[in-house]
Amino acid sequence: MNIIRHRRNARTRSRSAFLNWLPLLALALCIAPIFLVGLRRSSAHGAVSASSSADSLAFPGEKHLAHIQQLTFGGQNAEAYFSADDKYLSFQHQGQFYDSLKGVPIGLNVPCDQIYTMRVPPANPKASPENVPEISASETKRISNGEGRTTCSYFFPSGRRILYSSTFAASAACPPPPDYSQGYVWPIYDTYTIYTAKTDGSDIRPLSNAPGYNAESTITRDGKHIVFTSTRNGDIDIYTMDADGSHVKQLTHELGYDGGPFWSYDGTKIVYRAEHPKTPQQISDYKALLAKGLIRPGNLELWVMNADGSNKHQVTHNGAANFAPYWLPDGKRIVFASNMANQKDPAGFDLFLINEDGTGLDRITYYPGFDAFPMFSSDGKRLVWASNRNGRAPHETNIFIADWTP
């Protein structure tokens, strides 16, 4: 009886821990007040400070990461992407920002994800918190309107506008959570619309008018074409359109989830993640859940295709959950997140490098927790990503940046 009770308790604890991770892992589908999140500033300015040195933020084996800096403190922060000139980051935040030294909250608790921007700090060769320059209040701010849930922000190359998706047109409230009685599922909110706005948050314009889920959008470095994920034709597929929302073209037609696309630097290729059901039971389960606005992610593999949808080829074959792929500037390698090294832990995601042909796998992070959503600066010298390391509370996820050591 004690053994049975122990097993039940273990299952309960495991399920509880797993469900705690669902909101963050769901960001992988991509996912007013000014807050002083980020870097160390002098106490004379009463600003937020980093409480840990670069050395304490690194873990054994992380040979590629130098001079790590923590940029946010508190809540759930993810999907931080560089502007084309590498001077700013856009990211999404939910929860409470904190002063990292005093432990006091800053601003309001944000109930569901909103889009923010911050200035990228200069590289810090001395790895000393005292040498990190100030970030002014005007340079870290919310861009979205504070309504609904937002996800997947990305700068236009000009730096004057930004892409993101939001549910605010359907309701100012946060959308309801998915039905977890269905097991581990991700919501596919059919109220997500792709918008573009000025980087001060004004002049919000919809780019997608088709019904269904429309999100996960990024733009080519020449500013001409956008790639995104949509359910407009009944399945979860990848599309492209011109920067003004015209000339929409469907690129994937395989049954199953195709999403999270990113352009190569020259705009000729797209990397994405996919899971295609194969057996009759898998197909039936997929269709039944999709009809309820849900998917059950499992074995997500990375794929690459040409900009016109031709020459699709699989990159990873590890049977794990691989997501958040991004091209290196050389156009030959891809950085991504995967739980291939720790599939028993719901938070067991690390960063990896891989060649487009699937060779040359190289592990980047070794923190025993969540590391994901990586992106390189355009010169390949810096890496930004989201991690649970140095969190003040369980499951807290923050944005980090490091100098890249080949």
Q: Per-residue DSSP letters for 168-195? A: TTT-SSPPPPP-GGGSS-EE--TT-EEE
The span from the first CA to the last CA of the chain, in angstroms, equals 55
Q: How confident is residue 376, by pLDDT bands cut at 50, 70 and 90?
A: very high
The answer to whether the CB of 30 falls within 8 A of the CB of 83 is no
Each domain of the chain, given as residue ranges in start order, spans: 2-404
The stretch 260-275 carries a mean pLDDT of: 98
> Is residue 98 classed as helix, strand or coil in its secondary structure?
strand
Q: What are 177-223's pLDDT values in tens digits? A: 988 888 888 899 999 999 999 999 999 999 998 999 999 999 999 99
Residues with Cβ within 8 Å of residue 248, at least 6 apart in sequence: 210, 239, 240, 241
Q: Is the pLDDT of residue 5 over 60?
A: no
Residue 51 pLDDT: 45
Q: Is the pLDDT of residue 395 over 60?
A: yes
Residue 401 pLDDT: 97
Nearest to 357 by CA among 269, 297, 238, 298: 269
Nearest to 338 by CA among 270, 273, 242, 403: 273
Helix and strand counts by DSSP (H, E) for the chain: 3, 26
Average model confidence (pLDDT) across the chain = 86
Residue 29 pLDDT: 55
Residue 182 pLDDT: 84
CA dist., res. 381 & res. 384, Å (int) = 10
CA dist., res. 313 & res. 269, Å (int) = 11
Q: Is the pLDDT of residue 18 over 80?
A: no
> 227-231, 276-280, 345-349: which range is least confident on average?
345-349
Q: What are 116-159's pLDDT values in tens digits? A: 999 999 987 554 444 444 443 335 699 999 999 999 999 999 99
Residue 49 pLDDT: 41
The stretch 91-120 carries a mean pLDDT of: 92
CA dist., res. 239 & res. 256, Å (int) = 14
The stretch 14-36 carries a mean pLDDT of: 44
The stretch 27-39 carries a mean pLDDT of: 41
CATH hierarchy code of domain 2-404: 2.120.10.30
Residue 52 pLDDT: 60
Q: How confident is residue 58, by pLDDT bands cut at 50, 70 and 90?
A: very high
Q: How confident is residue 27, by pLDDT bands cut at 50, 70 and 90?
A: low
Q: Is the pLDDT of residue 341 over 80?
A: yes
Q: Is the pLDDT of residue 9 over 80?
A: no
Residue 1 pLDDT: 37
The stretch 356-385 carries a mean pLDDT of: 97
Residue 99 pLDDT: 82
Percent of the chain with pLDDT over 70: 83
Nearest to 304 by CA among 338, 268, 277: 268
